[in-house]
Amino acid sequence: MASPAPAVDSQSTQPLIETLRACTHDVFGTMVGSTLAEGTPLAGDALRPQSNVVGQIGFGGSRCGLVVFYATSAGAGVITSSLLGMSEGDEPSKAEVADAIGEITNMIAGSFRTRMATDGDAWAISIPTVTMGSDFYMTPLSDGRRTMLPFRMGDHEIFVELVITTKVRRA
Amino acid sequence: MRFLVVDDSTTMRRIIINTLNKLGYTEIVEAGNGREGIDRVSEGPVDLIITDWNMPEMNGIDFVRSLRAMEGKQHVPVLMVTTNAAKDDIVEALRAGVNNYVVKPFTPDTIKEKIDAVMAH
């Protein structure tokens, strides 16, 4: 688990972080059948999770930003096997892992959007994109306020990041 | 009872099909978007349709509208499974002809309750 850092996000984004954390627990508890342990949220980009599979969804409306999901290959494989109900010992294909992590990201971001809409924030979300590989990291907008939520699923670390833009971008 | 599952995500199709299997339903056909869904419906009878909302080529709302315009398909029960769960989304889906709504993430019990509810009608 990532070591705790003092920085937690500013007050204005704290409700968003709490909501995103609750959505992540809900999706994993309901669809993956896993109870997640959680670490301390880290603000900024100091933490670059070791990850091989990254799901990402943008949202826009009264707030704009990204929800990003990070997992290692092994962790993503466990998630995929569980979602697909695969037998022990069966290895999911790369395509299955990509689709499953896209769906997990979609469910987390979709639940997040729905809960924020209940509170009066109406957003649209993008379709998910999934990046797979090694030796890469994600660099969102330079004006984005980033908060990383670390979780542990058994032996595997996973991370959910919230990036909120602090400026309105116009084409 | 013959089900049609329409979703562009192979993961979500598999989750729904596994759930249906656990509930004892084994006769299931699949489609990857609304257009394929219309093809499957044209090929043979289906008793209940479970569809996603956001899909390429033809989304779930347009799929249901097209379905309802087909002869003899006005009353085929349709469940929509999606993350779009804001009040306005639900109203739009019901207006398009969706009979009931399942919000992701969901449990097998939720799917069963919704199937029972739409079949009771």
- Distance, in Å, from the CA atom of A149 to the CA atom of A151, rounded to the nearest integer, reads 7
The share of chain A scoring above pLDDT 90, in percent, equals 59
The model's pTM? 0.89
pLDDT value for B50:
98
Helix (H, G, I), strand (E, B) or coil at A68: strand
Distances (CA, A) of B82 to A51, A72, B39, B58, B104: 28, 27, 22, 15, 6
- Chain segment A83-139, per-residue pLDDT in tens: 999 988 899 999 999 999 999 999 999 999 988 877 777 788 898 999 999 877 777
User: Is residue A3 pLDDT above 50, yes or no?
Assistant: no
- Of the partner residues B12, B54, B105, the one whose CB lies closest to the CB of residue A27: B105
A56 beta partners: A68, A129
Distance from CA of A151 to the nearest CA of B (A): 19
> Which of A51-65, A112-126, B51-65 shows the lowest mean pLDDT across its residues?
A112-126
Query: Does the predicted interface ipTM exceed a cut of 0.85?
Result: yes
- Domain B2-120 carries which CATH code? 3.40.50.2300
pLDDT for A21 beyond 60: yes
A interface mutation test: which of B104, B106, B107, B109 has the most A CBs within 10 A?
B104
| A4/A140 Cα distance (integer angstroms) | 23
Q: Which of the four pLDDT bands, split at 50, 70 and 90, describes residue A78? A: very high
* CB of B108 less than 8 A from some CB of A: no
Task: Tell me the mean pLDDT in the region B54-81.
Answer: 95
pLDDT digits (tens, 9 = 90+) for A142-166: 677 899 999 999 999 999 999 998 6
CATH number of A11-165: 3.40.1550.10
Calpha distance A162→A7 (Å, rounded): 14
Q: Is A102 on the interface with B (CB under 8 A)?
A: yes
Half-sphere exposure of A18 (CA within 13 A, CB side): 6
Going A87 to A88 to A90 to A95, the CA torsion angle's sign is positive
- Among the partner-chain residues B54, B103, B104, the one whose CB lies closest to the CB of A127 is B54
Whether residue A47 lies within 8 A of chain B, CB to CB, comes out as: no
The pLDDT score that the predictor gives to residue A123 is: 83
Query: Which residues in chain B are closer than 8 Å to A109, comparing Cβ atoms?
Result: 83
- Put simply, whether A19 touches B (Cβ < 8 Å) is no
- How confident is the model over B70-109, as pLDDT tens digits? 999 999 999 999 988 778 888 999 999 999 999 999 999 9
Contacts of A103 in chain B (CB under 8 A): 9, 11-12
Q: How confident is the model at residue A9 (pLDDT cuts 50, 70, 90)?
A: very low
Domain ranges of chain B: 2-120
